[in-house]
Amino acid sequence: MLTLSKIEAGPGGIAVVPREPRDPGPGEIRLRIEAAGVCGTDMQIYNWAPRMARRMALPRVLGHEASGVVEAVGTGVTNVKAGDHVSLESHIFCGTCKQCRGGKPHICTSTHYPGIDIDGVFAEHAVVPAQIAWVNPPELPHEVAALLEPLGIAVHAATEGSGVSGQAVLVSGCGPIGLMTVAVAARFGAWPIIAADLNPKRLAAAEALGATHLLNAGEVEVAAQARQITRGEGVDVAIEYSGSPAGFQACLAALTRGGEFRLVGAPANPLEVDFTRWLLDCPRIYNIHGRRIWQDWERMSALVLGGQLDLRPVVSHQLPLSEGARAFDLIRAGEALKPLLRPGA
C-alpha cells in the first residue's frame, strides 16, 4: 500500500512510500482510509518542531484526521465491526489515570496519537486502537466524516464556559478549526461574530460560514476594531487560534470586563502577561484541548447529521494520496484551507 510518511528529521522530509499493511492485533481495527485531513499538527511535524522531534521515531506514517471503512477487527473488539463507517478520535487515552477516571480522557496524562506515536492515516489502510473509532451512518460522505475530529475542537471551544449564544464573539485565527468555530457560533446564535486573520482567503471563507465582521489583522488593530463593533463594550468571548503573540494580546484587549478568553492556539514561546490588568479586567480563561470524549462527538454529530452545519467552504482541495506532499506545499503557500487526501482516488 502507499503511505505519506515522515522519513527524515528536519524540515520537509516527507515522501510517498510503500508499506505492507498489517492485520489488527488485540483491541485494534484495520481501516480502508477514504479521506484524511492535513492539519496544523501535521505542519508542525513537517517543520520538525522541537516538541514533535523529541518524541517521534522515523519513519512514521503521518495523519490523524480520517474517515474510513472497517476491514477487520482484532480480538476483544466489541464497539465496531467489519463494514462500519468510522471517524477517528485522535487521543489514544489510557483509561486508568486520574483524568480518565474522572471523565476527562481528552487530557489523559498518557495520551498517544496516530501519526506521531503510532503510524497514522495518510495511507490506503491503517491499524488503530478500536477505542478511538466513532461509528457514522454509512450515508455520511467520507469528506464530511473526516472533518469531525477537528470540528470537535470547534464545538468544545464554542460550548465551553457560558457558550456563545447571544454573545459577541471574536475568533482570532481562521484556519480550518477557527472557520469551523465561526460556523458553530453562527448556528448557536452568537452576534456579532468577528473573524480576524491575515489571509484574505480565510476571511472570505469565514464570511461564507457566518462571520458578521471581517478584520485583516495585518491592516487594522484587532482589539480596537472589535471594541468599535461592540460599541465600546468589548466582546463577551474571545477564542484564540492563531498561536501568535499578537493574537493572544488582541484577544485579551478585546474582551469586555469579566469576559471569557478561550485559548486553543498557544504561542510557541513564553509571553509576558500584565496580571495587574488581569485582576482589574477579571477575564476567565479556558484551555481548549481536543474534544471532550465523547460528549463533543455527540453534539457535533447531531449538528452535522441534522444538516445544521455546512462545512464545505472549509475544504479547499481533495488530492490523491500519491500527491500528498502537494497538500503541505499549498498550506505553506497560504493557498489551502483544509486539504483532504483521498487514498482511493
Looking at residue 28, what DSSP letter applies? E
pLDDT score for 12 = 95
Q: What is the CA 259 to chain-centroid distance, rounded? A: 24
- Predicted pLDDT at 268: 77
DSSP assignment letter at 104? -
For residues 239 and 172, the answer to whether their CB atoms sit within 8 Å is: yes
Residues of the chain with CATH 3.90.180.10: 2-147+311-342
pLDDT tens per residue, the chain (345 residues)? 999 999 999 999 999 999 999 999 999 999 999 999 999 999 999 999 887 777 899 999 999 999 999 999 999 999 999 999 999 999 999 999 999 999 999 999 999 999 999 999 999 999 999 999 999 999 999 999 999 999 999 999 999 999 999 999 999 999 999 999 999 999 999 999 999 999 999 999 999 999 999 999 999 999 999 999 999 999 999 999 999 999 999 999 999 999 999 999 988 788 888 888 888 999 999 999 999 999 999 999 999 999 999 988 999 999 999 999 999 999 999 999 999 999 987
Q: Does domain 154-287 have CATH number 3.30.70.890?
A: no
Q: What pLDDT does residue 142 have?
A: 97
Can you name the residues that pair with 65 across neighbouring β-strands? 37
> How far is Cα 293 from Cα 275, in angstroms, rounded to an integer?
33
Alpha helices in 36-120 (DSSP H): 40-46, 50-53, 98-101
Nearest to 142 by CA among 70, 39, 34, 64: 34
- pLDDT at position 59, please? 96
User: What are the CB-based long-range contacts (under 8 Å, 24+) for 224-230?
Assistant: 225/194, 226/170, 226/194, 226/196, 226/250, 226/254, 227/254, 229/168, 229/192, 229/194, 230/168, 230/192, 230/256
**b/e sequence 230-264, b meaning 16+ C-beta within 10 Å:** beeebbbbbbbbbbbebbbbbbbbbbbeebbbbbb
Gap between the Cα atoms of 183 and 300, Å rounded:
12
Q: What are phi and psi of 10, to 5 degrees?
A: 95, 175
Pinpoint the residues of the chain covered by CATH 3.40.50.720. 154-287
- Cell readout for 90 is 485522535
Q: Within 102-237, where are the H helices?
A: 142-145, 148-159, 176-187, 200-209, 222-229
Q: Where would I find the H helices in the chain? A: 40-46, 50-53, 98-101, 142-145, 148-159, 176-187, 200-209, 222-229, 245-254, 275-281, 295-305, 324-332
Sign of CA dihedral 178, 179, 181, 186: positive
At the topology level, CATH places domain 2-147+311-342 in Quinone Oxidoreductase; Chain A, domain 1 (3.90.180)
